[in-house]
Amino acid sequence: MTEEYLELVSARINNIAGHDSAVEEAKLNFGKPMVTISTENWTQDTARMLHDDPELKFNFLSCLTGIDYEEHMEVVYNLYSIPHNQYLYVKVKTPRDNPEVQSVQPVWKTADWLERETYDLLGISFPGHRNLKRILLEDDWEGHPLRKDYVTDKKAMGLD
Amino acid sequence: MSIRTEQMTLNMGPQHPSTHGVFRLVLTIEGETIVKAEPVIGYLHRGSEKLAENLLYTQFIPYTDRLDYLNAMTNNYIYCAGVEELLDWEIPERAEYLRVLVMELNRIASHLVWWGTFLLDIGALSPFLYAFRDRDLILDRLNEISGARMTFNYVRIGGVKWDAPDGWIEKVQETVKEVRENIHEYDRLVTGNEIFQARTIGVGKITQEDAINWGLSGPIARGSGLKFDLRKEEPYSIYDRFDFDVPTFQEGDVYARYKTRIAEMHESLKIIEQACADIPDGEYIHKKGKRIMMIKPKPGEVYKRCEASKGEIGVYIVSDGKTQPYRVKLRRPSFVNVQILQDYLVGEPIANLVAIFGSLDIVLGEVDA
């Protein structure tokens, strides 16, 4: 059942992209479907389709995580469909210099602050967001602390 | 003759009694009406996620206590449950029962703080005293089992820190009776009060569709008619063994959220009673859980979520096979829930602001992480 579901999701995403390679990888992660979508195919149309499609209906964005893998950055969306009680991990990779991932804030309002937080702490930009600016740190903070090469200024923090 | 008006900016906070912490709202108002509201957060940001990357898996548990410090047991639990999923450990049955007991006790304590402070915000002083009286009964039990009143660090990877002291279960059963009696008293004191109802009925309406789109969860979503509780929908731990309801109200206003939380306390009491009756003897922690250097999950990643008193709390943990996590993302319900203020305060009079804000039940330690 879950394998079939994975195929269904992949087919829908490839369909909206118009070619077969929009989904780079589809697998089960601890029993839950996980798809990796290439950056250029992660568009608001794709997000909108996942949200609206009657068979998928991922109407709830649980979590949005940015991860720095040193060679590249990744944004993970944990989607959940309340009507179908179904999960989906969506992963989008982006290069480490000038990382950019399409905003899904117009589709799931939840993403508003979650994207701002990811921008703030990891420096991943989300074009299409209504108000992308720092949220937890001060506006004039330098750098993005959750990047692996971030150097903590111990002196400035009074720790030295 | 028309009176000339102009918009003005009003800073509410960062130090304001109704924000229960350091939270700032930049309001643009026209007369008494709010035309724009911008929440400003981050005053309590401690970089919890960054800290996690430099600590052993077990060492991060006390930091989760300090997110939502009113509901720390669930924070402990979800972080440990996430790591356990990566480790694929079997948790002893007694440990799961103890976890459920402390989490449900903590849920009631958290709702009690909300009940007292929310009413304080909208002008009723005495409920606060009643709420804290009962909350302390519960905190005494939690103190006896964990050694702390609020920052418990009790749930551990693989189980719990130690077993319950002798006679603790019986004491909990007594507390349940007492608290149940007292919650009925709340209804007589507040729920039917006409002034209270005038302040809350029809105020701050959130439709079910909006609640889902904004990612609202917990009592706020259930107060908007969404019958959704992770304890029921995807029973984690051993929640599938207990008989309880998911109280849901359709109206979506402040009053509905109030009623949801009151009803939830009764359901938690039901769960505690059943858990006290059924708790088996046995181990309280997985044998490897006591040796923290052995906690080394295989490379992988997982998102795990559960039902906290404020909504869906989740962790996204990435392991690279070392003794420290590669990345820990904390999905904090207060952070997600409070962002709706941007849209939901527009058009409201200032007097409603405190009622709406209070009805969200946020904790700033969790908003700012």
- The tens digit of pLDDT for each residue in B111-123 reads 999 999 999 988 8
Confidence of residue B4 (pLDDT cuts 50, 70, 90): confident
Q: What are phi and psi of A85, to 5 degrees?
A: 50, 55
Asked if pLDDT for residue B20 goes beyond 80, the answer is: no
* B85–A108 C-beta distance less than 8 A: no
User: What tokens were used for A148?
Assistant: 């692996």
**Mean pLDDT taken over chain B:** 91
DSSP B187: I
Confidence of residue B72 (pLDDT cuts 50, 70, 90): very high
Give B303's strand partners.
B316
Out of A29, A85, A110, the one facing B336 most closely (by C-beta) is A110
The percent of residues above 70 in pLDDT, for chain B, comes to 100
Question: How remote is the C-alpha of B211 from its chain's centroid?
Answer: 17
pLDDT in tens, B169-221: 999 999 999 999 999 988 888 888 888 999 999 898 999 999 999 999 999 99
Q: What are phi and psi of B199, to 5 degrees?
A: -80, -20
Neighbours of B218 (CB within 10 A): 26
Q: How far apart are the first and last CA of chain B?
A: 52
Interface test with A, best of B213, B313, B320, B360 (most A CBs within 10 A): B213
pLDDT in tens, A99-147: 999 999 999 999 999 999 999 999 999 998 998 999 999 888 888 999 9
Whole-structure pTM value = 0.92
For residue A60, the chain B residues in CB contact (below 8 A) are: 212, 215
B31-45: average pLDDT: 90
Helix axes B350-360, B93-121, angle to 10 degrees: 170
Asked if pLDDT for residue B293 goes beyond 80, the answer is: no
Chain B interface includes A36 (CB < 8 A): no
- pLDDT at residue B1, as a whole number: 66
Q: What are phi and psi of A33, to 5 degrees?
A: -65, 140
Size of interface A-B (CB pairs under 8 A): 80
Interface test with B, best of A27, A28, A30, A68 (most B CBs within 10 A): A30
Pick from A92, A98, A96, A94: which is nearest to A78 by CA?
A92
